Amino acid sequence: MKRFGILSLAIVLLCGLCLSQGFAARYVTIGTGGVTGVYYPTGGAIAKMVNKKRKEYDLRATVESTGGSVFNVNAIMSGDLEFGIVQSDRQFQAYHGKADWDGKPQLKLRSVFSIHPESVTIVAGADTTIKMARDLKGQKVNIGNPGSGQRGNAMDLFAALGYDHEKDMQAEGLKAAESAGLLQDGRIDAFFYTVGHPNGSVKEAVAGARTVRFVEVDQPVIGKLIKKFPYYAPAFIPVAMYPGAENTADVQTFGVKATLCTSADVPDDIVYAVTKEVFENFEEFKGLHPAYEVLTKDSMLQGLSAPLHPGAVKYFEEVGLMK
């Protein structure tokens, strides 16, 4: 018993020494999305950059696969996550109290920076009659799990087309990562996935025995969406990244941006550290995924509708990205 008492005392003294020398690292978690999407490796890359300087910042970052944008916003607001990757449309809706947050604006939501563009991608079996978005009527379509970005985008598209997903089609509410298998097994005719390209799950769908095609959203519908929702922009699906798809030319659609969000309650120095490590290692960050090739430092300050966190503002002002 005496030996255990001495051991316990030694542990207490060691912990006290670590605390006095600043080794008591704080922990932050970054919420992402499905493991086959771009969010997960993006969160992992940010965490890795921060962890390289963990002694300097007394900060340790971890990454978590989640249900997507709505989940991440809610978890940030409840304090279960410090950071989360969120589609720009969901960021707008949360802060302004719309859609899933109808009448309940998330006023403590803060933006940090935006990342890559994401295209609303509709993949259909080539043996179906689905070539344009309006052809989804009467089909079996996976629109995404509740709380996912693609589900919200699908709903906006259906509204622009005058469709009711409960009456005009057989809508499934499964995670995007399950879609490729469902399509190849013939259990659905098409699926939505709002994602940066190339994407592993989309590649899986294209590489199967069942030939697939990307579904076009025509220009009048895109124009209608952009007029109503300022966070949308024209986008396209680069078919060269998906050999085996039936399409021979890039497919027009609409899209949003992935953004990194946090809470006003997260300390300024933590947000400053995360922002600094990404921007100070910008070329390394760009090289992590082909979806990042179009990034510029200036573009990473665009598409943000929640107020910028003061920790991010501090860094941007220091390096001249903001006045």
Is 32:66 a contact under the CB 8 Å cutoff?
yes
Residue 24: predicted pLDDT: 58
Question: How far separated are the first and last CA of the chain, in Å rounded?
Answer: 64
**Phi-psi map region of 22: left, alpha, beta (phi>0 left; psi -120 to 50 alpha):** left
Distance CA 83, CA 111 (A): 10
Return the HEC string of 284-308. Answer: HHHCCCHHHCCCCCCHHHCCCCCCE
Q: What pTM value is reported for the model?
A: 0.75
* Cis before 146 (ω within 30): no
**Phi-psi map region of 277: left, alpha, beta (phi>0 left; psi -120 to 50 alpha):** alpha
Residue 1: predicted pLDDT: 43
| Residues 205-255: tens digit of each pLDDT | 999 999 999 999 999 999 999 899 878 888 999 999 999 999 999 999 999
Helix crossing, 39-51 with 268-280: angle to 10°?
100
| Residues 159-211: tens digit of each pLDDT | 999 999 999 999 999 999 899 999 999 999 999 999 989 888 999 999 999 99
| Residues 250-260: tens digit of each pLDDT | 999 999 989 99
CA angle 218, 224, 227 (to 5 degrees): 135
Domains of the chain: 26-116+257-318 (3.40.190.10), 118-255 (3.40.190.10)
Which of 93, 76, 194, 94 is CA-nearest to residue 144? Answer: 194
Residue 290: predicted pLDDT: 83
| Residues 47-90: tens digit of each pLDDT | 999 999 999 999 999 999 999 999 999 999 999 999 999 999 99
CA distances from 96 to 101, 103, 256 (A): 8, 8, 17
Residue 291: predicted pLDDT: 82
Which of 287, 292, 297, 294 is CA-nearest to residue 320? Answer: 297
Structure-block tokens of residue 176: 């995007």
| Residues 118-165: tens digit of each pLDDT | 899 999 999 999 999 999 999 999 999 998 889 999 999 999 999 999
Residue 4 has pLDDT above 80, yes or no: no
Q: Where are the alpha helices (DSSP H) in the chain?
A: 2-20, 39-51, 54-57, 69-78, 88-96, 149-161, 179-184, 200-206, 219-228, 268-280, 282-286, 310-318
Of 69-83, 146-160, 282-296, 309-323, the least confident? 282-296
Residue 52: predicted pLDDT: 95
Average pLDDT of every residue of the chain: 91
Residue 283 has pLDDT above 80, yes or no: yes
Structure-block tokens of residue 122: 């509709």
Residue 223: predicted pLDDT: 93
CA distances from 28 to 37, 60, 64 (A): 21, 6, 11
Report phi then psi at 317, rounded to 5.
-70, -40
